[in-house]
């Protein structure tokens, strides 16, 4: 597969992605666990059909010490026993936040309250921003048909 547009040589895309990446750096410095951030990014990328981001976040998570077993079960997290209650709440919030168009009313009060049991306000803020940012990257990469499989952990700094 070849991308529709070479994002890496487009000054416009690179300027925008640089800003989005800077926002993501803020999230890495938050108290929301990095493992949770990667699980959420992986799940949203799976839902959105973004092979590029699915590849990236699987590999980054493995490089950060996450187990392939847990990562392979992200798509079936409801049935999997390998996730904490906090991670499950984050994955539910991520799914509902990603499927806004599919879910009447967006994120339910129940999903929000469940996440709020496990995360303080700043962690919830980081979780919301993580979901929003990965959805932005997913949508751009899907539109561009960015090929997946060649990503190396840490490739983009």
What structural domains does the chain harbor?
Answer: 33-144 (1.20.1290.10)
The rounded distance, in Å, linking the Cα atoms of 9 and 17 is 12
The rounded distance, in Å, linking the Cα atoms of 147 and 141 is 9
Residue 125: its H or E element: helix 121-144
pLDDT tens track for 18-44: 999 899 889 989 999 999 999 999 999
Average pLDDT of the residues in 113-129: 98
Q: Are 106 and 143 in contact (CB under 8 A)?
A: no
**pLDDT number for residue 101:** 84
User: Is 80 exceeded by the pLDDT of residue 111?
Assistant: yes
Burial 31-40 (b: 16+ CB within 10 A, else e): ebbebbbbbb
Q: Is 114 helix (H, G, I), strand (E, B) or coil?
A: helix
């Amino acid at each position: 597969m070849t991308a529709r547009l070479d994002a890496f040589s487009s000054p416009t895309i690179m300027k925008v992605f640089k800003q989005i990446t800077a926002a993501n750096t803020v999230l890495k410095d938050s108290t929301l666990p990095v493992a949770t951030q990667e699980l959420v990014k992986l799940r949203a990328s799976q839902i959105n059909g973004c092979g590029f981001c699915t590849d990236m976040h699987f590999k980054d998570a493995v490089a950060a010490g996450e187990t392939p077993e847990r990562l392979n079960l992200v798509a079936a997290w409801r049935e999997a026993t390998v996730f904490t209650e906090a991670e499950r709440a984050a994955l539910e919030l991520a799914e509902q936040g990603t499927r806004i168009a599919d879910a009447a009313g967006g994120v339910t009060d129940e999903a929000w309250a469940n996440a709020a049991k496990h995360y303080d306000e700043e962690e919830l803020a980081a979780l919301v921003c993580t979901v929003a940012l990965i959805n932005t990257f997913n949508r751009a990469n899907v539109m561009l048909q960015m090929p997946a499989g060649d990503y190396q952990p840490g490739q983009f700094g």
